[in-house]
A and B are shown apart, each in its own frame.
Chain A
């Protein structure tokens, strides 16, 4: 197991190198002179030369990359062009908000998705099953931004039950969490349903029925426990999609998270912030995927790692 984890972590290194090159190239493709972006339009040629030297732009590109990488390794991404604050500070201030939002959406998605999936599988081909699966296909088809705006119109503007946007109370989390989690709930529901259908056909479930065990007991303890194993991979993958979806959700609900920081930074061509944000997201996503794979081994002792 330890060997497997070490092996997987080693495999991450070239991937993150690749991402870092991609992220580094953002600076190279910025139209115009990056120094002009930093110094502003009224900067004198001497100022610009100084900025170029300070940013290392007067050095060959491979040297610039090495410099970028060594700085990034210690969390130094320079200063935001927009706010002039250190990028790491900006990012660190936003991370807890995005993590909170993602966790809430994830919890919602797991509870609703598993519930719908189990009910649909147990009552296969019933009206309930049809409705649940129709809801699920709607869930993966609805655009996040539109769902968010519609929920906001209904629950915040019309009914005034919940706040429209921003942060502060736990109530502020309800609509963004629901919006962000909807698609994942739908995907989990579909996955759990098909896994449950598979498990319910197994001999040990028939045995449990023959023994006269209570139906609820069979579904929860014998079937669901095994059906959830393949679902873990899907759920783990959802974490990444939730991080990605957070970009849109945060924009709709004016949620001060990493995603909104990224979108604003792209629009303002605040490339140090863009670079740091994307790199952080890639590292987090890779780490979560690794954790999910390891967890999978703990849940299912039949899986052997090589």
Chain B
């Protein structure tokens, strides 16, 4: 640990810090840090694999994921059906592959919404201060009064059950995290000399925010977005498992477990593989997020 710290110190000391060259150096250091983290690299590979599966789902699926065939219901894994079939004779492997697309699309949409709305709100609140700040933070406090999945469930209770509402619910529950992070960062950046210099030079507030404040808080936001992807996949599948999210026949991992539950004692394969899919995807994003955090913030490095 001491050795790597030293070498990093040397690397940054040895090169002149100026212009574009230093930024390139910074990226190279981050990349080197990240590559050294085995967990992070494993996470990246898992995430890339799931992205590939989600994008090429049609080509990878051996069967139609929605077509029912009761003649082959509840087939054990093996033969024509690698992971077996479910209670309606649908190929589980094909449903898991299509489920990757459903889960990732839901989570990406939710995280995109949460990160954009949350960080814009937070950065503006922190940078502008005053009544706007007060208003935003009180709103955030209200959202934080309901922990974890409960906020998502409450929003579902208001909006109604369904896939799109799950995305909205997860996006709203992700807002506080981004808002607080962006606000804190904006508060600390605000007093920096280069921001004051920009202001003295007459740069409009909006440009200061977009070209000076945001680039400086991008790293922690990126880490949070990655970690929220993991939470979003977990929450979405949990909501679907509870019957509050994706509805049949949508091939969603949580919904698959929910409908296969009745047969679980006699045919465990119905529920085993969708759960493993959720866990692997979540694990990938968690490892990637941890790895990114360690690489982007050397102070927190283990």
Q: What is the distance, in angstroms, from B141's C-beta to the closest C-beta of chain A? A: 5
Instruction: Contacts A263-B244, A267-B243 given; indicate if A19 touches B157 (C-beta within 8 A).
Output: no
Whether A153 and B283, one on each chain, are in contact in the complex, defined by CB atoms closer than 8 angstroms, is no
Whether A141 and B264, one on each chain, are in contact in the complex, defined by CB atoms closer than 8 angstroms, is no
Question: What residue in chain A is nearest B241 (Cβ atoms)?
Answer: A145
Whether B275 and A278, one on each chain, are in contact in the complex, defined by CB atoms closer than 8 angstroms, is no
Instruction: Contacts A141-B282, A150-B275, A263-B244 given; indicate if A247 touches B150 (C-beta within 8 A).
Output: yes
Interface pick from B61-69, B214-222, B265-273 = B265-273
Question: What residue in chain B is nearest A183 (Cβ atoms)?
Answer: B234
A245 at the interface (CB under 8 A from B): yes
Whether B290 and A245, one on each chain, are in contact in the complex, defined by CB atoms closer than 8 angstroms, is no
Whether A266 and B156, one on each chain, are in contact in the complex, defined by CB atoms closer than 8 angstroms, is yes
Whether B282 and A285, one on each chain, are in contact in the complex, defined by CB atoms closer than 8 angstroms, is no
Q: What is the distance, in angstroms, from A56's C-beta to the closest C-beta of chain B? A: 20
**Docked complex Cα distance between A241 and B261 (Å):** 25
**Docked complex Cα distance between A196 and B271 (Å):** 39
Whether B282 and A153, one on each chain, are in contact in the complex, defined by CB atoms closer than 8 angstroms, is no
Residues of B within 8 A of A281 (CB): 146, 150
Q: What is the distance, in angstroms, from B28's C-beta to the closest C-beta of chain A? A: 26
A112 at the interface (CB under 8 A from B): no
Whether B150 and A243, one on each chain, are in contact in the complex, defined by CB atoms closer than 8 angstroms, is yes
Whether B146 and A285, one on each chain, are in contact in the complex, defined by CB atoms closer than 8 angstroms, is yes
Q: Which of B258-300 contact A (CB under 8 A)?
A: 261, 264-265, 268, 271-272, 274-276, 278-279, 282-283, 286-287, 290
B186 at the interface (CB under 8 A from A): no
Interface secondary structure of A, over-half rule: helix
B84 at the interface (CB under 8 A from A): no
How many residues does chain A have at the interface if contact means C-beta atoms less than 8 Å apart? 48
Whether A26 and B149, one on each chain, are in contact in the complex, defined by CB atoms closer than 8 angstroms, is no
Question: What residue in chain A is nearest B234 (Cβ atoms)?
Answer: A143
Instruction: Contacts A137-B286, A141-B230, A150-B272 given; indicate if A248 touches B238 (C-beta within 8 A).
Output: yes
How many residues does chain B have at the interface if contact means C-beta atoms less than 8 Å apart? 46
Q: Which of A10-67 contact B (CB under 8 A)?
A: 11, 14-16, 18-19, 22-23, 25-26, 29, 31
The 8 Å CB contact of B142, one of A19, A29, A150, A153, is A19
The 8 Å CB contact of B149, one of A11, A16, A29, A247, is A247
Interface pick from B47-55, B91-99, B158-166, B174-182 = B158-166
Question: What residue in chain B is nearest A133 (Cβ atoms)?
Answer: B39
**Chain A 137-168 per-residue mask, 1 if CB under 8 angstroms from chain B, else 0:** 11011111111011001000100000000000
The 8 Å CB contact of A262, one of B153, B243, B265, is B153
Whether B261 and A149, one on each chain, are in contact in the complex, defined by CB atoms closer than 8 angstroms, is yes
A97 at the interface (CB under 8 A from B): no
Question: What residue in chain A is nearest B275 (Cβ atoms)?
Answer: A146
Whether B138 and A14, one on each chain, are in contact in the complex, defined by CB atoms closer than 8 angstroms, is yes
Q: What is the distance, in angstroms, from B236's C-beta to the closest C-beta of chain A? A: 10
A240 at the interface (CB under 8 A from B): yes
Q: Which of A125-140 contact B (CB under 8 A)?
A: 137-138, 140
**Chain B 129-163 per-residue mask, 1 if CB under 8 angstroms from chain A, else 0:** 00000000011011001111110011011111100
Q: What is the distance, in angstroms, from A241's C-beta to the closest C-beta of chain B? A: 5
B83 at the interface (CB under 8 A from A): no
Q: What is the distance, in angstroms, from A18's C-beta to the closest C-beta of chain B? A: 3
The 8 Å CB contact of B283, one of A19, A138, A146, A266, is A138
A251 at the interface (CB under 8 A from B): yes
Residues of B within 8 A of A153 (CB): 264-265, 268
Q: Which residues of A contact B (CB under 8 A)?
A: 11, 14-16, 18-19, 22-23, 25-26, 29, 31, 137-138, 140-147, 149-150, 153, 157, 194, 197, 237, 240-241, 243-245, 247-248, 251, 262-263, 266-267, 271, 274, 278, 281-282, 285-286
Q: Which residues of B contact A (CB under 8 A)?
A: 39, 138-139, 141-142, 145-150, 153-154, 156-161, 230, 234, 237-238, 241-244, 254, 257, 261, 264-265, 268, 271-272, 274-276, 278-279, 282-283, 286-287, 290, 302
5 more contacts with CB within 8 A, not counting A15-B138, A19-B145, A197-B302, are A26-B158, A137-B286, A244-B147, A245-B149, A248-B238
| A-B CB proximity, top 3 nearest | A146-B275, A240-B147, A18-B142
A-B contact pairs, 27 of them (CB 8 A): A14-B138, A18-B138, A25-B158, A26-B157, A26-B158, A29-B159, A29-B160, A31-B160, A137-B287, A137-B290, A138-B283, A141-B282, A142-B282, A144-B238, A145-B254, A146-B276, A150-B275, A157-B265, A240-B147, A245-B149, A248-B241, A266-B244, A271-B157, A281-B150, A282-B145, A282-B146, A285-B146
